[in-house]
Each structure stands twice: as structure tokens, then as C-alpha cells.
Structure 1
Amino acid sequence: MYQSQPPETSINGPTDPRKPLRTNLVPEAFFARAWSAIFYLDLSPSIYRNGLGKSVSKRVPKSSFKKTDIYTTWPGGQPNDEIERLLFGEIDNSGAVAIRQLAGGQPEEVHDAFTPFFEYLGAQKLRTPKGLDWINAHYSQLDQSGLMREMQHLLALNLTIWSEGGREIVSAKKSDVKFIITDHPVTLYNAACPPDAPTCRYPNEPSVQWIGTQTIFPLDAEHCLILSHFDYAKQTEGVDLLAERQNARNFGKSLARTDAWIRSRALSRDQVLAINDLKKSRACKHVAAPVEDWLYPEREYAGDWGKIGEVLRPPADELWHFGGEMYVGYEDGSTLYQDPYGRTSGSHEYLKNAALISHR
């Protein structure tokens, strides 16, 4: 049984009078051990009297994607970093282990990784500067304490619907170009929502609940997770990409098969470039890679926005892992039923028929 529960820690606890805290938003585990240095692209460099500042620098991974006091609150005028230390410290530690387990693919380890990984995914969606800007855009007049409070409430926002979708891990092992990383690593793609669409005007992105929206997250440079709604994955034509998925909801309980993953695809160079182009288009300010040319996938990717969807669509002959109905029997004789969309009864069918009759 999977149940999304928003974790929370105090923002008004004991203060810790220390220097401003610089938080690394992307765990170093993403970068290969062989990468002693990376190229770091600033998409909006500072403007000086003599012109623009340097857009590309070379640095060690641990000095990248850092933000000062992004989660710090100031009760009584003193800095409090409990959110960084107690909340995200635990999520990052368990998430780093879960990512290695998912990439490794051992069934028992993948089972253990399921819940901590999705909790980590939820955190990575909202803890970034772009994620926090999204919260501020939808909740008016938040001070720093209010922003941190809302962020904690929303960390589990998409966990239930993510767990009910199709899950694929693709590999870049056959490509000389690997997956890049950005300061907004959980990327949403919908073919009906190109970067210049009003629904994607910063800091907005396509809704996770829309049928055509897929979630993309690089586990490391060699592996990338793609989450797709089952209705979208199994059909190629006639799907309203902006319609809500059946029983779309936030939070709640759901059953999920932790052993259901698609792992059969090793992407070509052009396919990796397509995903990197998508990721860069959704970034806030920074992109990083161990090879400078990888920072500019748009120079080589020849496809349009819709072609990215062809790369992200899971193989049709592997979708049998997902969908269908589940029945669980307990020792006391009770049972639990769940359909492919998390519904535990067929009452929606009766309500639909009743609505049609009354409408006539």
C-alpha cells in the first residue's frame, strides 16, 4: 500500500546562529566519480558595464547548483536551518541510496527503494528555485516562513499519481552523449505545451494530472526515468493531451507493483540529445555537464517539440506490466480491490450512467 504523506519539520524551533547556509540542490551522486570537474552554464549571466558576464565556467561538482539560505527561516532574527538539516538531510540520504538501487535494477533493492525514491522525487520537484517560484505564483503574499510551510505541505503533491503510471528507465550507455543535469531536475513534458505556450510561462509547467504529461528525471548520467500515464502510453492517436487522467487526484492511498519497470531501451545519440534539449528548455538558470558541447543540445537536435514525445513514449509491447485490476486478500477474510486508476469500487460507472439518464 502506497500512501503519500507530506513530511514536515518545524520552522520555529531552536535557532542556530551560524553563517549563511549554501545549499547544494543537486546531489553529487549524480556526477560520475571520474568527473573531477564539470562545465557549468549560466543561462542568464550577470550584466556588467563592459557587457555580459561569463556564461560558462569550469568547476568541481560540489560547488555547483548552490543557493544561499534558500530554506533558512529567521525566527527572532536568527537563522534556523532545520529544514535543510532535518527534512532534506534525511530525504537526500535515503534518496541517494534509492537512486542507486533503481539504477542497479535488483528486484529486492528496487522494492525497498520505491517509497523513498518517490518522496525524493517529490522534493526535487518543489525544492528548486523554480519550484519555489511556482509556489509563490500560486499562493499570494507568502513570507519566507510561509513559503517553507507551503513547500512542506506540497512535497507529496504528485506522489500518488506518479506511482500509478507507467515507469520506464532508459539507458544512455550506447550514446557518447550522456544525460545533462539542470537546476530543475524533475522535468515535465507535454507535446501540446511547447516552451512558449502560455501554460508553460515561467514558472509554470504542464499539469502532472494531464493525460499527455510525462515526468522525466535523470537518475545519473547513464539512466533516466520516464513516467507516463497509462492511457497516453497505450494509444498513439485520438488522445486529448490536456484532458485530466481518470481519477486524477493529489495525495491519498494507492496500490502499486514495485516490480513493474520497463528497462529494455538503450537510447541513441539523437534520442539522448532530444531529452537534454527538453531538460535545458525547462531549466531555471543553470545547466551542467562534463563535456562543454553537451550543454548545447539544441545545436545538434534536429527534431521539433513533438518529436521529443516519440523518444519518451514507452515501447508498446512492454505496457503489459501496467494497468489491470488488483485484488488483495487479508488474513481476516477481508479483501481490497483497486482498478488501474486507484479507484477501490466501481461506483463511478453507476454515477456515470445515472448522470446520462438524468440528463436525458
Structure 2
Amino acid sequence: RGPSVLGTKVDEPDAGEEEEEEAAGDDGAPEGEAAGDAGEGGDDGACALEDMDDWGEMYANPLHVRFTQDKIHPFFYRRGPIVNVLPKIRPVMRMGDDELDDGTLEDGEAVVELVPPFSPIHCLRKGEELWSLDNRRLYAMQLAAMELWPQPCRIRLLCRDRLPRHKLKTQYRKFKTTSEGTAVNICARYQQFDTWSWFDRAVEVEWFTLSQRIGSLLLAFEVVPVVGALLFRTGLTGFASRAPLVAGFVLAFCLDLLRQRVPAIERRLAELHVQAIIDGEVSPWSPGWRRVRQAAFRLWGGEEDPNAGPMSPLQVSAAMVVALLLLLPYTLGVARARLRSSLLSIWLGVACVLAVQLGA
């Protein structure tokens, strides 16, 4: 009996069991991958496919590589659980002007290179898609990449366009994915532990971050009218009555209730944001703005969320829509006609620009 995973005892794969299950074509069987040296007898068959000269070396984001199986074993052969390998994967920052750069980065471009304790993943290239032959290693690398999300990462791969003819029978059986290689089940025999999809994990992270940001905005607009109502008799609010304050509070409360009752809206925004990050449409924080954020956290206390990266254009537009709706009652409630007209013109101008941007 092997160690426990999520509190459940599982059978650790052995060589005899592996050969028997491979002969039966069980996708849930171990692939024979080892987390150590490639020369050990328990290493995976992919490492012994061909000589190194027959594989082309390349660098790619591990999140862009697809699984070829629906199920993988939660253990490396003779190496224990896959999750125990994660602390051994070293993140190394590479710059485009670094002496160690292989020329794949532009000048000034930064990326985190993940250096694993095992040999590179072997992949097959189908057009622009990369399909992994070492699915458990890919799972480990994707876990490591998600710990650094949303920072871009890359790993070293060995790639070729087709399998050697004498290896078609042993390796082609792995191509049984039904999720287009985007998800994989972590299971051992009849025990299901987890279903992994880096996209779903990234959506959860970005959904939580977006929910916090929108929630903070709505909370501010729920507190402001209460403070304004207390200061109304002093004449500092600039309103002729309390109606704008009441309308603003009710509107903020209704929007907050709507986002809690219909979470699909925020989730869809998070999905589009994740896709924008993968497509390179979201730029990282500038060094100056990062220093300002760090100073603010030191001043007000609290810890900065490492996963809270910049907002995509769509998220910025959504936040602007919410802010414009919340500002409308206060704009219409200003007592001075000239000031109210000026503020309303500004509001309409921003709304028109936002509408054109969303329409494009």
C-alpha cells in the first residue's frame, strides 16, 4: 500500500502492475514516468522513444500543451505523489537580454522558466497544437505554472511531428482524451481524486479577484450615501434633498444583490479575462505602479494578493459601466443647474466613449 492522497490510501504503482495494465490498454494506469533520472529502469517509455537527435528542442507555455489521456495516476513510478515534486520545480526569471536566453524572447521581455527535476516532456506537434506524451509530468508543470499565475511561464520541451513507426503501438494508445486535452482526471484504479483543468483553476482565481474588486466598489457606494445623509444638514453635500443619496444607496444595494444572485455574469467576465491573459492582451503592472501598490499595502496594512494582476480591457469596461450607473443619481441630484449640466455632459461623454469601445 502506498501513501495517502487526500486522506485515502491508494496503491502505489509497481513495475508488474504497470506492464499488466499497459497491455490491457488502461488509461488510468501509470505511464511509467519517473521524477528522477532518465536512466532508471522505471522511467517512462516516452524518454526511450528515440535518440535525442530525433527530437527538436523548443520552449512553450505548459498551459498551452494538451493532455493525451483522460486519466492519470496520482503517483510517479517509485517517486511518490506528483504533488511532492512541486517544491523541486525551480522558477528562474529569464529576460530577453539575458546571456542565458536562447533567443526566443524579445529584448526586455520577461518570462519565468520552470526547471523541473525530471527530463523534458516529449510532445507531438499537430499544427499549432502540442500534445504531451508525458501526461503526469505535464500535470506537475501546470500545477507549478498556476502557482505563479498570471505570470507567463515556459518550459523546455522535446517535440516532433510524428511518432516513430515502431512506437506507434505503445504510445498511440495514450491518445484517448475526450476533452480536447484541456482536462484530466486524477485517479487510481476505481478511486477518483480530482479533475484538473488549468483553465477552470485560472477562472476561479480571476473570478475571486474580480468579485473582490467589484464588491469593494459597491461597498464604497453603499457607505458614501450613509455618510452624505449624516452631513446633509451641514450643506456640504451640494444636494437639494436626500433623494439622490437614497437612490444611490438603493442602486448600489440592488447591483450588489444582482451580482450575488447571478454569479454567471462575473464568471463569464473572468473567463474572458483568462483568455485575454493567454492571448497576451493584458500587460503586467508597470514598475512605478507596482511600487505605489506596495507602498499602499504597507501604509494601510494587509498583504498583496500575488494573483491579483492587471485588469483586461473588458474588465475595465465592466467596472466603468458599474461606476457610471452608480454615479448617475448623484449627477442628476446636484442642486446648482450649471454644475449639474457640466457633470451630466461629462457623464454622457464617458458613456458614449465606453459604448463605442464595447461595440467595437
TM-score w.r.t. the length of structure 2 is 0.25
More helix by share: 2
TM-score w.r.t. the length of structure 1 is 0.25
Q: Which has the higher contact order (CA 8 A, sep 6+)?
A: 1
Q: Which has the larger radius of gyration?
A: 2
